[in-house]
Amino acid sequence: MPQALHEQLTEPNLLLAVDGVTVDFDGFKALNGFSLTIDKGSLRVVIGPNGAGKSTLCDTIIGRVRATNGRVVFKGEEITYLPEFEIVRRGVCRKFQTPGVLPTLTVLDNLMIAGQKDRSWRRSFGLRQAPEEKEKIEKILETVGLTDRSHILAGELAHGEKQWLEIGMVVATDAELLLLDEPTAGMGPKETSKTADLIRGLGGQHAVLVIDHDMSFIEQLNGRVTVMHQGQFLKEGSVAEIRKDPDVAAVYLGRAAD
């Protein structure tokens, strides 16, 4: 990292700092002294070969996996050992590869439930929608391109639409940091392009950390890229810089780009 972390921690724009984190699974280091910082409202893409530690990184940020060394700092406060629900409450939300929508509810209901602050689903059903809530959900529907599908049951959506709905649900939580794990899994080129547009549109309001393998998607996202290898930081740069980096080519792109 170009600047010492303790200096960066005082920067007002800093949202997340992963500081020398090691995750040890019975002697195997899935993360090995890994560091990364993310600014408010910024887009970061994390790539790396299979087993590089990308999912473990997200698991550690959100408190599902515990660091054996190092720390995670979010909005200036250490969250390394907080329970997952507390980290979520502070403004981190994660979307997994498989859509986790509620199939028997409409698109609109899925978004409304995701947007409820107290996350009490039963109570959510009984609540009337406040005007500002309605406006917020309408904006999200537009952002994820599902305005015309708002009254369709989520289970009837196409695969790509389910993924967009789930991105919308993550956005509805108002989390400042969104973790998106392979948001284009199972999508064709058109849906992938739309997903890139959608995620780029979240910039400014949310910081987004995207894990993905698809180089065409990563190019369309055009965010800053961090490359991981064997649980360690390998490189960081623009897509163009990463593309031509020989170390990256050796461990990842050389193999993936063929």
From residue 125, how far is each of 9, 113, 121, 221 by CA, in Å? 41, 8, 7, 36
The size of the interface with ligand ATP (CB under 6 A), counted in residues, is 11
From residue 108, how far is each of 115, 162, 191, 211 by CA, in Å? 11, 12, 21, 27
Residue 55 interacts with ligand ATP (CB under 6 A): yes or no: yes
Residue 60 interacts with ligand ATP (CB under 6 A): yes or no: no
Buried/exposed code over 214-227 (b: 16+ C-beta within 10 A; e: otherwise): bbebbebbebbbbb
Residue 151 interacts with ligand ATP (CB under 6 A): yes or no: no
- Residue selected from 1, 25, 76, 155 as contacting ligand ATP according to rule CB under 6 A: 25
Least Cβ distance, residue 53 to ligand ATP (angstroms): 4
Instruction: State whether residue 3 is helix, strand or coil.
Output: coil
Cα–Cα distance between 154 and 150 in angstroms, integer?
9
- Residue selected from 50, 126, 128, 190 as contacting ligand ATP according to rule CB under 6 A: 50
Least Cβ distance, residue 106 to ligand ATP (angstroms): 32
Pick between residue 112 and residue 234 the one whose CB is nearest to ligand ATP.
Answer: 234
- Residue selected from 14, 16, 45, 52 as contacting ligand ATP according to rule CB under 6 A: 52
Instruction: State whether residue 78 is helix, strand or coil.
Output: strand
Provide the binding-site residues for ligand ATP, judged by CB under 6 A.
25, 28, 30, 48, 50-56
